[in-house]
Every structure is written in C-alpha cells, then in structure tokens.
Amino acid sequence: MSKTALLFAGQGAQVVGMGKDLAEKFPTAKTWFDRANAALGYDLAGICFNGPETELTKTEHAQPGIFLVSWVCFQLLKEQAPNLKFDAAAGLSLGEFTALTAAGAMSFEEGLRVVRQRGKFMQEACDVTKGGMAAIIGLDEAPTREVCAEAGVVLANLNCPGQLVISGEAVKIVKACELAKAKGAKRALPLPVAGAYHSPLMASAQPKLGAELAKVNLVSPVVPVISNVTAQAHRMPAEISARLVEQVCASVLWETSLRALLAQGFTRFIELGPGTALSGFMKRIDKTATMLNVADAASLEATVAALNR
C-alpha cells in the first residue's frame, strides 16, 4: 500500500491572484476566505486575489496569505477526494505551520493568527538588519559551507541537490556569491527578499514568536509532521513550540526531510498551495516519486482525477 505525504508551500510562493479562481468556483473556499478575514480583522483574501504585489510581498501578508491559500487547497482536496488518506505532512518554513494545522496540532484560526504575527515579527527583524539571501545553484553542500564560513553568512535552506540558499548581511551575501562562483557554482543569485531569513539576523523575532505560541492550544498532531530543524517528526506540544521558535533562525533541512519520508516508504506526495517549487525539489531528490499538486482549480481537478485512477 503506497503512503501519501502532504507538502505545504513556503514564503516566496505568493503570487497576486492566488486562490481567486477557487473562491469563485467553490463555496467551501469562499467560506474559508471569509473566515480568515473575520479572524484577522482585515481583507487578507482581497490582497491575495488583487494585490497590489507590493502589499502581498510584505512578510506580514505573504505568510498568512500562503497559509490561507494552502489551507483552502487542502480543504477542497478533502472535499473532492473524500477517500484520500494522508500518512504524514511537511511544509517549507512557514509551510510547517500549515502542515501542523492540517494534522490537527492547532486550529485554523490559531494557525492563521500565529503565522500573521510571525510574519510581522520577521518583518520587524528585517527592518533593523540589512540582510539578504542568495540561491547557490550547482554547488555541493561542503564547498557551499566553506563559502559561508569564509564570507560570514549561513546556509539557510538545503532544498535539493544543486539548490542551496544562503543568508546573512547583504554586503556579505555579495561576497559569498563571488566566492561560490569561484568555487564552481553554476549560478549565485541574490533573491528578492526583505531580509536574511533562517539566519541569526532573525533572532529578535524568536522570543516574540515564543510568546504568541504560548497562547496557542497546541496538541500532538494526528499524523507525523516533519520538523524543518531536525528532519524528524514533531512529538509533544512543548517540543513543537520550541522547534517552531528555533526554526526562525535555523537551517531548513528540506532535502533531508523528504529523504526521511522516502526511506519510510512514502511514494506519493501532494504539494498544496501556490506554485510548484516543492514539486521541482522532489524531481531533483527522487524522480520516481509520484508528485501531485493543488494550487488552483485546474490543478485540483487534475490531482483529483489522478487520485481516482
């Protein structure tokens, strides 16, 4: 019997218009978008549907926006494919909160509110630190770590073979890109982000996020949810909270997380939320894995058809 894991999108996947066709076609989706607006007290759905892009890309809107659209994709998939059973979940950075919510560790409203606050705290950290990030393409982990040590930056995301992300002070990121190219990286591209996520420059967000998580009624998830920090399943509620706080500054062990699921016999993965970045990573990790996704009405239809075959 094949095992299925759900994968939830992370920051950077946001795009103006996300979720709009789902809200127009499915009453369930419209209900969730309305619930989100009521929970937050502002029109997050409108920012997702209509932008402007400058508003949507603000961390305090992008994070709850991606959480919300990913959640709606999850709810519609359950509605359209009622026999679907998932055996684990994981999410990239902010997506880990969506994964935990999908696995019942917190309520939708609590998850949405804490993610909105997380985005706000991280934006505040960005505003007082001059940080940046860059994608390092085509260089292995060991030489990339040497580059980080030499430039004084950190390895933020280990996404898949040949795709790593570094994070740190903006001027040091420029130097690191030059060093990476000198070591044989195919490309070293600064990313259009507000700051140095998953680096020590985000430290000021950690105690604030910890205080917000203390208000959340966390329970153990009903299926294993993989932690970005450890690449192992979360356990007790106190541990979940501690790992989520740690995750703000820690490296995202995405490739290791997916390899752990593959080693446990998972063969089918469904990406939920805007974009297909996680599907792309999986192709680089294991081409034989079945990869489906739900981002809009068309991909929902295609995934439901594939599940029913």
The catalytic residue positions are: 93, 198
Dihedral (CA of 240, 222, 293, 38) sign: negative
List Cα–Cα distances, 74 to 32, 47, 101, 165, 197, in angstroms: 11, 20, 11, 28, 26
Residue of 224, 220, 221, 241 whose CA lies nearest to 232? 224
Beta-carbon contacts of 103 under 8 Å, excluding residues fewer than 6 positions away, are 89, 221, 222, 223, 224, 225
Q: What are phi and psi of 164, to 5 degrees?
A: -120, 155
Q: Is the peptide bond before 52 cis (omega within 30 degrees of 0)?
A: yes
Which amino acid is present at 106? M
